[in-house]
Amino acid sequence: MPASLSERLGFNARERAIFQKLTSPEKIQRFLDEQISYDPGENCRSNRRVLRERRGHCVEGALLASTALRLNGEPPLLLDMEASKDDDHVVALFQRYGLWGAIGKSNYAGLRYREPVYRTVRELVMSYFEHYFNKRGERSLRGYSRPVNILRFDGTQWHVDEEDVWHIPVHLAEVAHTPLLPRKVAQRLTRLDRRLRAANEFGMRQAG
């Protein structure tokens, strides 16, 4: 009997059993929210390490989500959102009836899942704008990458690597990014009001 895709990617029986339950974007997002603790540490774990340690940040969550989408027969696409005076944010993309949605891991409530209702990637990215801010409360989202298919990294066995897989986020940061707004507009943006900030920080988990 031919090996399944999950076997060819190197996953063991326990890992395959987890992925077999992640049969839709909604279930993948719920798994990230409920089973994976947010960890902003200086790591870039493989899928194997995230499943074993049950922790991860946005890149690690997006990588896990993209693998789950791939095992469901969908294109495994990642998108990098570029920020000013702030960290970038990475999500996994999916489509339904030609419309874009996203799966994301974040410590902020507004930077996670997006329903597939957006006609373009830019529309989807703009839905994150009001929720994307730095520690000073400044609106920090400035641009976005083209969708990157993780099939390009198959030769590295990154899914099950015990070492950090930094080559993937490095590539995401280096691909061309499209600006969201002119510099003159960015210079005049207001800061988040306390209510929107509190809403985004509701339920925030501390590392550790």
Quote the CA–CA distance of 59 and 90 in Å, as a whole number. 5
pLDDT at residue 203 greater than cutoff 80: no
pLDDT tens digits, 61-95: 999 999 999 999 999 999 999 999 999 999 999 99
Look up residue 46 and give its two tokens.
């493989």
Quote the CA–CA distance of 143 and 7 in Å, as a whole number. 37
Provide the residue ranges of all domains of the chain, joining segments of one domain with +: 5-201
Look up residue 99 and give its two tokens.
């419309």
Residue 188's pLDDT band (cuts 50, 70, 90)? very high
Q: Whole-prediction pTM value?
A: 0.93
CB 73 within 8 A of CB 22: no
CB 72 within 8 A of CB 65: no
Quote the CA–CA distance of 146 and 200 in Å, as a whole number. 26
Quote the CA–CA distance of 41 and 19 in Å, as a whole number. 24
CATH, range 5-201: 3.10.620
Quote the CA–CA distance of 167 and 169 in Å, as a whole number. 6
pLDDT tens digits, 114-173: 999 999 999 999 999 999 999 899 999 999 999 999 999 998 999 999 999 999 999 999
